[in-house]
Amino acid sequence: MKYTLAIYGAPYSSQAPQTALSFAKSLLESGHSIYRLFFYMDGVHNASAIAVPPQDEVNIPAEWSALIRKYDLDAVVCIAAALRRGIIDKTEAERYEVSAHNFAEGFTLSGLGQLVDAGIASDRLITFGP
Amino acid sequence: MSNTKSLLIVNRHAPYDGMYAKEAMDAALIGAAFNQKVSVMFMDDGVYQLLREQAPADIRQKNTSLTLPMLDMYDINNVYVERASLQARNLTEENLLIPVQVIDSVQASELLGQQDIILNF
């Protein structure tokens, strides 16, 4: 089946991202496909390229990037939710003239329409969090 | 996108408790713009989003209730409120800013069961 996962929780604040990550891996290993990962609300923090948890803890943002790269997944981060929380890519950092950017590789900034589109196009839409 | 699905937006958070009210409204309106069959349900503390005379400027928030009439403008006519959530908060339809259909918990359960897509806020 074709799945979309909507992730609303931030890593280390919520268990939702870890559960979603495990679920995504299980889906792909079972032969299902992922139409889209959509990161919304506090879930945008999963797309931070500069999270540095201690070495004996899971680096959830890095695991997402690795999974996205391995399976060439479509991983969309809600742009409005991201920008207001300080998750920003190079293009938007230049547009808003802020001094840094921190958007992880493999993710894309786009609008909430991508979540609704994914709901229409997928067999299952599963929400993780808040 | 050619096919039409039923989309239910479930509001369970009080207004100004994070961005839930605003983001739920965004999702509902985008669903309508995508020509989906959109319904909206308010339950638990979410019923507070519907109160008349909200004045959140003192806490530096925008009044999210001002966008509620947008539902009607986007032809989203199926707006439901769970009765027990109103009663538990000593509220009636008289306290609400827009017309709604008050449903009991069995009807709410049926409504959830009928949907293709449910987005919780």
| Complex-level ipTM | 0.86
Alpha helices in chain B (DSSP H): 20-33, 69-73, 83-88, 105-113
Provide the pLDDT for residue A130.
74
Q: In this complex, do B117 and A119 lie within 8 Å of one another by their Cβ atoms? A: yes
Q: For this structure, is A78 an active site residue? A: yes
Query: What pLDDT, on the 0 to 100 scale, is given for residue B2?
Result: 54
Q: What mean pLDDT comes out for the span B34-45?
A: 97
> In chain B, which residues have their Cβ closer than 8 Å to the Cβ of A117?
1, 34
Question: Which residues of chain A are under the pLDDT cut of 70?
Answer: none
Predicted structure pTM score: 0.91
CB atoms near residue B115 (< 10 Å): 17
Partners of A14 in the β-ladder: A11
Which pLDDT score is estimated for A15? 96
Q: Which residues in chain A have Cβ-Cβ distances shorter than 8 Å to B76?
A: none
- Whether residue B118 contacts residue B10, with contact meaning beta carbons closer than 8 Å, is answered with yes
Tell me which of 2.30.30.100, 3.40.50.740, 3.40.1260.10, 3.40.50.11270 is the CATH number of domain A2-128.
Answer: 3.40.1260.10
Domains of chain B from N-terminus onward: 6-120 (3.40.1260.10)
Contacts of B36 in chain A (CB under 8 A): 116, 120
pLDDT the model gives residue B3: 77
The chain A residue lying nearest B38, using CA atoms, is A116
Model confidence over B71-121: pLDDT tens digits? 999 999 999 999 999 999 999 999 999 999 999 999 999 999 999 999 999
pLDDT of B1 higher than 70: no
Q: Within an 8 Å CB–CB cutoff, is residue B69 touching chain A?
A: no
Q: CA B77 to CA B100: how far, in whole Å?
A: 9
B59-72 residue pLDDT tens = 999 999 999 999 99
The Cα of A6 is separated from the nearest Cα of chain B by a number of Å equal to: 9
**Option in B18, B34, B118 nearest A116 (CB):** B34
Closest CA to B79 of B68, B66, B67, B89: B68
Mean pLDDT of all residues in chain B? 95
CA-based nearest residue in chain A for residue B29:
A113
